[in-house]
């Protein structure tokens, strides 16, 4: 009985089968692998790719973004570039009901297409985005304030890698059982009981992705593609200050969907007018069954408490912590931490904030270093990276919004600066808002200050009674407020073990003795998990089985024979 759905693969499945298979291997090995080269070099991407991407980006400025989706006729323009560049891109507006209706209408055919076809189409979307990676990188750069190379990598290649990682997990989960199984139960001397069982992968409903200002693509892609490949139409609600990267994404996704014979309304952009609260209206819509969000703890908590009809994945604020006990490479440690604090002016959800150092100092390969010397060593590393404006801005990028500037002003009142933040003139973009990082000395007793997140180029060198005391602070602050990253520096294996135990207890990923070209604020797709879901900073990890398994259900039909 029951014809139901077919799962004959689409030609796009075959076209990308090798990539998919390699990604499926990568998620079981979790060693090094990447599908999308992170170097923007012309040797990799061709001589004209960079210029073509820039032209494509500039063509959007001051105009109506080309998006043929249902809407109410209004247009929305909300972006201001941290680089001071005039954007003025105008996006077509739609109401929550219009978006949900269009998405819902697109669902049945996409569901019935089955996992093999859906993953092929999604891989083609990634391929299309990759072909337009420079355009995407420019869009990320000029909305987030990231410097170009970082925007290319984090906003382009790495975002695509994370998307592919999510696709691989979701595909593995959907196909861990066969689509059909025979069941034959012995029945004594009689004929066995025979049944044929069909297992349908059924999406949850409409999915909502709420993007953030700093990493509009990287943080949105895993949820977007995990939801889409499992059969859920996706409404993409970008941050009002970082619409363009997701508009470009939605544009190419719709293009591929149309070419593949599906309703383009499987992916819709939901640009938000000022004060409209479209995200909240969508998140509470009864048809919206999945929400992915990156942003503030306050709004993430609100979503978890109120979007009860949906499965809600949140990444929120945290207190990323470094425990410094001792080191056999003082210069390397300072240089490594200095880079972390400098990159994108510390505006990463993974940037270290609380650096815990015994007030009596630490043992190093350069002899005993006092608390002040350790703090000064880190500060000097930051200073060196930012001393030359032309080189500095290629690391710091620009300040994403006024909230960061307000915190920079506020933090001058709370402790002694080891390093003050400086205003830098951007050599290429006179309107860019650039600030170098500040490092502020605190005492362990200043709990009220360092037990909140100071998002931006702000970190604290905190004097503790001992490394044991530092670990207590790690446990209590991360245990309460969460963190996405932690690091430890020690030459003592007992300290490393104790820190690892503390990290496991509070559920934070830990990096040990990073002194080279790997940084605590960076995670590699297919190998490092981003977030754990085991503390208050995030209720899920990118990307693991738990991130994908609840995005669909299995509905079974069975019959004799």
Residues 385-424 that bind a second copy (CB under 8 A): none
**Separation of alpha carbons 117 and 111, rounded Å:** 10
Dmax over CA atoms of the chain, in Å, equals: 88
- 241-260 footprint of a second copy as x/- string (CB under 8 A): --------------------
Residues 445-504 that bind a second copy (CB under 8 A): 490, 493, 496-497, 499-501, 503-504
Q: Does 181 bind a second copy (CB under 8 A)?
A: yes
Q: Which DSSP letter does residue 535 get?
A: B
Structural tokens at position 369: 């270093």
Alpha-carbon distance 94 to 240, whole Å?
14
| Contacting residues for 177 by C-beta, under 8 A, at least 6 apart | 199, 554
Stretch that binds a second copy, among 250-258, 260-268, 445-453, 544-552 (CB under 8 A): 544-552
Q: CB 533 → a second copy: shortest distance, Å?
A: 5
List the one residue from 374, 511, 525, 536 that touches a second copy (CB under 8 A).
511
Instruction: For residue 305, state whether it binds a second copy (rule: CB under 8 A).
Output: yes
Quickly list DSSP for 137-198. Answer: HHHHHHHH---HHHHHIIIIIHHHHHHHHHHHHHHHHHTSS-SEEEEEE--TTSPPEEEEEE
Please pick, from the candidates 10, 16, 93, 111, the single residue that binds a second copy as defined by CB under 8 A: 111
Quick check: 44 binds a second copy (CB under 8 A)? no
What does each C-alpha distance from 171 to 4, 109, 199, 374, 383 come to in angstroms? 20, 18, 15, 48, 46
What does the alpha-carbon distance between residue 545 and residue 98 come to, in Å, rounded to a whole number? Answer: 32
Looking at the Cβ atoms of 111 and 251, the one nearer to a second copy is 111
Of 431, 245, 423, 457, residue with least CA distance to 344: 457
User: If you write DSSP's letter for every residue of 56-123 in order, what string do you get?
Assistant: HHHHHTTSB--------S-EE-----TT------BEE---HHHHHHHHHHHHHHHHHHHHHHHHHHHH
To a second copy, the closest distance from the beta carbon of 412 in angstroms equals 35
CA-nearest of 104, 130, 305 to 207 is: 104
Position among 17, 273, 380, 549 found at the interface with a second copy (CB under 8 A): 549
Q: Which is nearer to a second copy, 189 or 560 (CB)?
A: 560
Q: CA–CA separation, 347 vs 349, rounded Å?
A: 7
Counting contacts by CB under 8 A, is residue 184 touching a second copy? yes
Give the chain's count of helices (H) and strands (E).
21, 22
d(CA 51, CA 143): 19
> How far apart are CB 353 and a second copy at their closest, in Å?
20
Does residue 328 bind a second copy (CB under 8 A)?
no
User: Contact between 528 and a second copy (CB under 8 A)?
Assistant: yes
- 41 contacts a second copy (rule: CB under 8 A): no
Q: Is 514 in the site for a second copy (CB under 8 A)?
A: yes
Among 15, 21, 29, 51, binds a second copy (CB under 8 A): 29
User: Least distance (Å) from a second copy to the CB of residue 435?
Assistant: 30
Question: In the complex, what is the shortest distance from the CB of residue 59 to a second copy, in angstroms, rounded to a whole number?
Answer: 34
Q: Is 550 in the site for a second copy (CB under 8 A)?
A: yes
> For a second copy, which residue of 158, 162, 200, 335 counts as binding (CB under 8 A)?
200
Q: Quick one: which of 72, 58, 66, 70 has its CA closest to 90? A: 66
Total residues contacting a second copy by CB under 8 A comes to: 74
Of residues 172 and 380, the one with the C-beta less far from a second copy: 172
Q: How far apart are CB 540 and a second copy at their closest, in Å? A: 9
Q: What is d(CA 460, CA 436) in angstroms, rounded to the nearest whole number?
A: 15
CA 36 to chain centroid:
16
Tell whether residue 11 is a contact of a second copy (CB under 8 A): no
CB 179 within 8 A of CB 237: no
Using CB under 8 A, pick the residue from 127, 165, 173, 292 that binds a second copy.
173
- Close Cβ partners of 318 (under 8 Å, ≥ 6 residues apart): 349, 453, 478, 481, 482, 483, 484, 535, 536, 537, 538
176 is an interface residue for a second copy by CB under 8 A:
yes
Q: With CB under 8 A as the contact rule, which of the stretches 7-15, 152-160, 185-193, 214-222 interacts with a second copy?
A: 185-193
Applying CB under 8 A, the span of 118-126, 189-197, 207-215, 373-381 interacting with a second copy comes to 189-197
**Where does this chain touch a second copy (CB under 8 A) — which range of 2-10, 14-22, 156-164, 312-320?**
2-10
- Toward a second copy, which CB reaches closer, 71 or 223? 223
Question: Count of alpha carbons within 13 Å of 439, Cβ hemisphere only?
Answer: 27
Minimal distance in Å, beta carbon 97 to a second copy? 20
d(CA 248, CA 218): 14
Residue 513: other Cβ atoms inside 10 A? 18
Q: Is there binding between residue 286 and a second copy (CB under 8 A)?
A: no
Distance CA 90, CA 74 (A): 10
Nearby residues of 23 by Cβ (< 8 Å), 6 or more positions away: 33, 35, 164, 165, 167, 168, 526
Please identify which residue in 6, 412, 423, 556 interacts with a second copy, judged by CB under 8 A: 556
**Binding segment (CB under 8 A) for a second copy, from list 76-84, 177-185, 360-368, 451-459:** 177-185
State yes or no: residue 509 binds a second copy (CB under 8 A).
yes
CB of 518 to a second copy, least distance (A): 6
- Asked if 32 is part of the footprint of a second copy (rule: CB under 8 A), the reply reads yes
Q: Least distance from C-beta 186 to a second copy, angstroms?
A: 8
Helix, strand, or coil (residue 309): coil
Nearer to a second copy, 456 or 507 (CB): 507
Among 93, 158, 162, 204, binds a second copy (CB under 8 A): 204
Q: Is 28 in the site for a second copy (CB under 8 A)?
A: yes
């Amino acid at each position: 009985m029951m014809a139901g759905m077919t799962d004959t693969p689409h030609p796009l499945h075959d076209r990308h089968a090798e990539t998919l298979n390699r990604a499926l291997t990568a998620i079981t090995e979790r060693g090094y692998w990447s599908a999308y080269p992170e170097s923007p070099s012309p040797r990799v991407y061709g001589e004209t790719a960079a210029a073509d991407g820039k032209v494509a980006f500039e063509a959007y400025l001051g105009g109506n973004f080309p998006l043929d989706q249902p809407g109410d006729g209004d247009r929305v323009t909300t972006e201001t570039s941290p680089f001071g560049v005039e954007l003025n891109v105008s996006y077509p507006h739609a109401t929550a009901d219009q978006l949900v209706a269009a998405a819902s209408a697109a669902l049945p055919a996409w569901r019935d297409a089955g996992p093999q076809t859906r993953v092929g189409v999604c891989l083609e979307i990634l391929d299309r985005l990759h072909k337009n990676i420079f355009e995407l990188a420019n869009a990320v750069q000029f909305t987030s304030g990231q410097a170009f190379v970082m925007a290319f990598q984090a906003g382009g290649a790495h975002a695509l890698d994370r998307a592919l990682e999510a696709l691989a997990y979701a595909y593995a989960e959907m196909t861990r059982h066969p689509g059909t199984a025979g069941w034959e139960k012995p029945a004594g001397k009689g004929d066995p009981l025979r049944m044929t069982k069909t297992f349908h992968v059924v999406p949850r409903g409409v999915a909502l992705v709420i993007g953030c200002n700093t990493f509009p693509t990287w943080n949105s892609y895993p949820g977007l593609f995990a939801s889409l490949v499992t059969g859920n139409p996706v409404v993409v609600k970008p941050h009002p200050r970082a619409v363009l990267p997701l508009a470009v994404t939605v544009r190419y996704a719709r293009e591929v969907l149309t070419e593949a014979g599906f309703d383009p309304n499987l992916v819709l952009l939901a640009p938000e007018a000022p004060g409209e609260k479209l995200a909240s209206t969508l998140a509470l819509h009864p048809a919206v069954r999945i929400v992915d969000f990156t942003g503030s703890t306050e709004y993430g908590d609100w979503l978890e408490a109120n979007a009860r009809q949906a499965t809600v994945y949140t990444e929120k604020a945290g207190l990323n912590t470094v425990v410094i006990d001792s080191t056999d490479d003082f210069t390397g440690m300072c240089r490594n931490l200095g880079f972390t604090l400098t990159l994108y002016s510390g505006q990463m959800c993974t940037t270290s904030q609380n650096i815990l150092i015994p007030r009596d100092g630490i043992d190093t390969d350069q002899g005993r270093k006092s608390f002040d010397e350790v703090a000064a060593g880190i500060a000097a590393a930051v200073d060196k990276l930012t001393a030359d404006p032309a080189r500095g801005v290629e690391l710091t990028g620009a300040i994403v919004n006024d909230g960061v500037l307000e915190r920079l002003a506020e933090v001058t009142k709370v402790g002694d600066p080891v390093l003050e933040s400086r205003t830098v003139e951007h050599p290429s973009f006179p309107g860019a808002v650039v600030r170098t990082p500040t490092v502020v000395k605190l005492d362990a007793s200043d709990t009220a200050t360092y037990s909140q997140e100071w998002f931006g180029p702000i970190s604290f060198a905190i004097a503790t009674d001992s490394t044991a005391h530092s670990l207590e602070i790690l446990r209590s602050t991360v245990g309460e407020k969460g963190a996405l990253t932690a690091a430890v520096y020690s030459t003592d294996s007992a300290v490393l073990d104790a820190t690892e135990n503390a990290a496991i207890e509070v559920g934070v990923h830990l990096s040990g003795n990073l002194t080279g070209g790997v940084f605590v604020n960076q995670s590699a797709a297919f190998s490092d998990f981003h977030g754990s879901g085991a503390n208050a900073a995030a209720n899920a990890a990118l990307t693991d089985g738990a991130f994908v398994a609840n995005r669909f259900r299995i509905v079974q039909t069975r019959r004799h024979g």
